[in-house]
Amino acid sequence: MEVKLKEIANIQFGYYGQPSKNGTIPYLQAKHFNEFGQYSGVNDTFLEEDSKITANLLQDGDVLFVAKGFRFFATLYKEELGKAIASSIFFILRTDKTKIIPAYLVSVLNLPKNLLHFQQSGAGSTIPSIRKNELADFTFNLIPLEQQQKVVALQDLYFKDIQITETLIKEKQKLFQTTISKIIN
């Protein structure tokens, strides 16, 4: 069934604030995510907690979509990451979980054909950006929840495989460097 994003999600802008290194709440920016849209776990920008900040805290299952700049991507916020605020480079999508699994929406938005669609929509300015109404009108195929869950499980396996591969590459690099060092010295 074809749906528009606005039919299954509430869309709001991320928070615009002045980050500092002394704050207590991580202020998420695109640079804090790897090339696969996964949070790196390293954050160097924070906000001081106050009532405005508390009102803008991310909720478990929020989908963050980078809609400004040269790298569009979607990622899933999980409360296990701790308190956080999304910067204004993100749109925050709060889905109707009776219709769509948030992680499924991340998969849909990150499909190369959809990212290309957004890049073309944002073209024509110095810094490409997607307008809220363009994102809201984005149409995609909404499959049944059981099938969505299978897509999410496949995506989780994919990310675990990527993580294992990265770890293996680092270990091979260490082994190579150690071997070369022993040969040279």
pLDDT tens digits for 10-52? 999 999 988 887 888 999 999 999 888 888 888 889 998 888 8
Number of domains in the chain: 2
**Average pLDDT in the 58-85 region?**
93
**Average pLDDT in the 52-73 region?**
92
User: Number of H helices and number of E strands within the chain?
Assistant: 6, 9
Which pLDDT band holds residue 124 (cuts at 50, 70, 90)?
low
pTM for this entry: 0.88
Q: Are residues 134 and 151 in the same domain?
A: no
Give how far Cα 122 sits from Cα of 80, 104, 119, 145, 152, Å: 32, 23, 5, 31, 28
Which pLDDT band holds residue 160 (cuts at 50, 70, 90)?
very high
- For residue 25, the SS3 value is strand
Q: Are residues 125 and 64 in the same domain?
A: yes
Q: Are residues 38 and 114 in the same domain?
A: yes
Q: Structural domain of residue 121, as residue ranges?
A: 2-142
